Structure 1
């Protein structure tokens, strides 16, 4: 039987301009595809990373953060956005990609306590 691990990724940077959120999502996708261990992946978006979950992104070239989140959600990952961060950026009433939802610090605290590993980008 494969060991199961719960992995929490906390992303803080905007989807474009820096590659931190991109690299965090790359790692999350790759870990979800590993056959050596069963993983439960949770993604919590904070600060400018909350804009990663907005639909209709149209990056010019290179990576596409919205599609990466959609892949993770299709793989079974849970994705939540910090409510305070969304409110501060005027995003709370905007639609999100399917499968993403606004969460709270209580959600992040619970996920942190339940996680075997916490990775931040």
Structure 2
């Protein structure tokens, strides 16, 4: 699943994470991969708080606890000043060539 929306500009990331958690409870979570690209990489930044509604960081952490793999685009993260030390534990930095490979191997690809 690719996520490219700004985490707090709309409810697209929230919807993607809700679907991810639902899928993780009904299928083999280890098959689910989230790839955050563009402004969506901010979703994986550690230390975020949210006083209104669910915390997207907490939802990502919960997904990873269910064996969902979470990746951020390296160039998108770098453009926003994020490196591994500023990401939630368990989030990995990845590349477009890796995403291309996963896309070709996948049965289904969803984009938010």
TM-score w.r.t. length of structure 1: 0.86
Give the distance between the partners of 1:109 and 1:18, measured in 2 at CA.
26
Q: Provide the residue aligned with 1:23 in structure 2.
A: 15
Distance in 2 separating the partners of 1:113 and 1:73: 23
Give the Cα separation in 2 of the matches to 1:65 and 1:80. 15
Q: For 1:89-118, what per-residue CA distance to the aligned partner results, in whole angstroms no more than 9, with x for missing partners?
A: 122364211110110011111111121110
Q: Which consecutive segments of 4 or more residues in structure 1 shift more than 6 A?
A: none
Number of residue pairs aligned between Structure 1 and Structure 2: 111
Any idea what the Cα deviations from partners look like across 1:10-69, whole Å, max 9, x if unmatched?
A: 0001221211111011101101111xx434110000000000101111111112100110
- Which structure shows the higher helix fraction? 2
Alignment match, 1:96: 87
Verify: 1:57 aligned to 2:48, yes or no: yes
Is the radius of gyration larger for structure 1 or structure 2? 1
Q: Which runs of 5+ in 2 are unaligned?
A: none
Residue in 2 aligned with 1:38? 28
CA RMSD of aligned residues (A): 1.3
Which of 2, 8, 11 aligns to 2:3? It is 11
Give the TM-score, by structure 2 length.
0.92
